[in-house]
Every structure is written in C-alpha cells, then in structure tokens.
Amino acid sequence: MRHVLHRLAWVACPVFSSLAGCGAGATEASAPAAGDSGGGLAGSPAPGGDAAACDRLAGRLQAALDAAVRAQDLPGAAAAVDLRGCSFRGAAGTANIEARTPLAPGDLFRAGSITKTFVSTLVLMLRAEGALSLDDAVSKHVKGIPGGERITIRQLLNHTSGLFNYTESDGFLRAVDADPTRAWRPEELIAFSAAEPPRFEPGRGFSYSNTNYIVAGSIVQAVSGRPIVELLRKRILAPVGLASTYLDGAEPAVPGLVHGYGSYDGELVDTTSAVDPSTAWTSGGLVSSAGDLTTFFVRLLDGGLLGQAELAEMTAWVSTGSDDARGYGLGLARRTSPVGTTYGHGGSVWGFVSASYCAVDRDATITVLVNHEEGDAEKIVEDLFHVLKVP
C-alpha cells in the first residue's frame, strides 16, 4: 500500500522514588450509561466506594473524551480510568467507518510501543531470577549486533545503546513498501539497523530506537529458551488476567480489533492491515484494550509483577532531552501532568496511537487508545487528568 509507510516511529513521544499510589483502582466494567457517546460506561465503585460519586465522575470523563474526539476530528477513541474508589471504561466515535460501527470500551487497538514496557518487565523478571544481568554485554546472549560486546542490556532498555532505529531506515521502508505482507524475522529487522552507522557510542547519549527492543526480545528468547510470546502469556498476560491482549503475528488473534486509519492526500485511508505485524514484533506488536493496559500498569507499578529491586532499576531515569518526557527508565517514561508526575508509556503504529500513564501521587491510572495514526492520545490522557484535578 503506497504512501502509508511514512516514518512512523512506532513509539510514544519519548515518554519516567516511590511507586506507591498507582494500584488502588477497581477494574470491573459497569452498566452502560445513557447518551450518544458510542459506548461510554458509568463509573464503577470499588468496594466501599461511593457509587453516585463514581457515576458523576464518569459523566465528566465521558464528556471530556467526547470533546477530545471531536476536537481532534478522530474516528474514535477508548479510555480506561482506575483511581481510588472508582473505575471508568468509556468510548467515543467509530470502530469501522465504512460499517458505521460504534466504538465500545472493550474494543481492541494496536498498542504500539507500550509493548516495550511488557518486554522490559520480562527482562527484569529474568534478572530477578539470576538468568541475566542488566550489565551483561548484548553479545553474551545474541550474536551479530554491531558493537554488541560494548552494549549492555540496560542500554538497550533505556535507549542509550546508540543503535540506529531500523524503522527509520530507507532500506526497511523500501522493502516493506515493496511487499507489505512479508513476514519478517527479528534478525532481518536488526540487519537494517546494522547497515547504518550508530547514533553514538554506547552510553554516550539517548536516542529512541525500536531496534533496542527487537534485540531485547531476542535476548529474552535466547536466555529463556522459549518463544517470547509464551513467556508473555505465562508470566504476565495470564496471571494479570489480560484476556484481550496478544502479540500480533505471533499467536492467534483475539476478536475485536477496530479499524485504524491515516490521512493521505486529504483522504481517510484504512491502514489496519497496511503491513505485516512482524515488522513491529517486540518493539510494538501488542494488541490490547484500554482496560487491559490500565490493569497492567496498575499491577506493574504496585509491585504485583516485579520486586522493589527491579522496580528501582526500571525507574532509574536517564535524560531524554525532551520537554515532554522528564526521563526514561527501562521501558518506562516519566512525564508531567495536570495532577503531577506520571509513569507509563505511549505508542504509535500504522493506524493507531496509544498512551497509558499512572499519576504516582493520585492513585490514578489512565489509558487512551485512538484509531487514527495522527491522533494525540497523550493529549487526551492530559484532558482526563484535568477532570480528576477538578474537585
């Protein structure tokens, strides 16, 4: 499909101590609320919560989501908000423009680079078990990485390796444009990076690179001796109950993926299946729902998946040189918001953008998924945090 494969980074805008305060939200969906917002849900109280207060908050969150979709002229968006005492699941707009299918809160979207937080979590689990060290040279586990004897696993995860971003390679873009349906092996994606000079010497700068997480995924497989999709399901998806999440192209799809769109030459183009999902793999290949992603970040940052030592490593920040992102850890970004510091990640991939952040001082976690690749999911997250800020 021509003119679809522009230089999407498949990342968030560079996206972050104490982790207490991100895990008190309930996760149950509640009954549909009245209105024309395409599937918004009323607030669901946690045990002991105030149902009427949750319903009032849900109405304000749904109104903010509706307004954001209109303001950005988006096909649609889904949102999930968990905070102390209340849970909200909402949607606005359209899942399939041609069929005029309204979006529902539980619909599935491509999650893009939020995938990186899942992969980093697996690496840190292996580290906790003594299977690897973050200071191991990449070459100890995976061969054929330029400078791999000088790049550490830590530098992969915090984007200080200097490895060229394969999705910015002209060779990669030409190859995928020539055959969008081709399935790619990780080593083939890495080869596009290897053909380009590194951005800098390892540890001498920050440059967001999807190559880092293709290599990280390869290390997880090499160390564990198992396909990464098997570890994802066994170690994260099944224990946390993320029934709507899967690694696209590596396992059977879960029904419910909405259509994703892009704007080209003034026309809205369906880019849902523009390229084979193997082009993103462990740098951005997850499909998920807003509720699943919110639940994941709540569990992760509340210590439900990693111990305190691993969470401390994940939140050891390096400077990104960005005004938006105040630091990047190991598959985790630190940002500012209307309610203070947030930890999370975002992503963009053909047809979709995503953002999921926890406000560490407010017991509030918000995920927004958008089915247009030029949408600003992080702006909508901020809009919803503004709602929480208002008394």
- Residues labelled catalytic: 113
Q: Which helix (H) or strand (E) holds 1?
A: none
Chain CA centroid to CA 94, Å: 21
Handedness of CA 341, 58, 71, 113 (dihedral sign): positive
Give bridge partners of residue 101 from the DSSP assignment: 96
Q: Report the candidate in 105, 24, 120, 28 with the shortest Cα–Cα distance to residue 345.
A: 120
Distances (CA, A) of 186 to 25, 116, 250: 37, 15, 12
CA geometry: angle 112, 118, 121, nearest 5 deg: 150
DSSP 86-120: EEEEEEEEEEETTTTEEP-TT-EEE-GGGHHHHHH
- Using the Cα atoms of residue 148, residue 153, residue 157 and residue 162 in order, give the sign of their dihedral: negative
Residue 111 CA, distance from chain mean position? 5
Question: 150, 156, 153: which is closest to 141 by C-alpha?
Answer: 153
Helix (H, G, I), strand (E, B) or coil at 353: strand
SS (H, E, C) 295-306: HHHHHHHCCCCC
3-state secondary structure of 79: strand
CA 43 to chain centre: 24
User: CA–CA distance from 375 to each of 84, 88, 136, 323 (Å)?
Assistant: 29, 21, 38, 20
What lies within 8 Å, CB to CB, of 70 at 6+ separation is: none
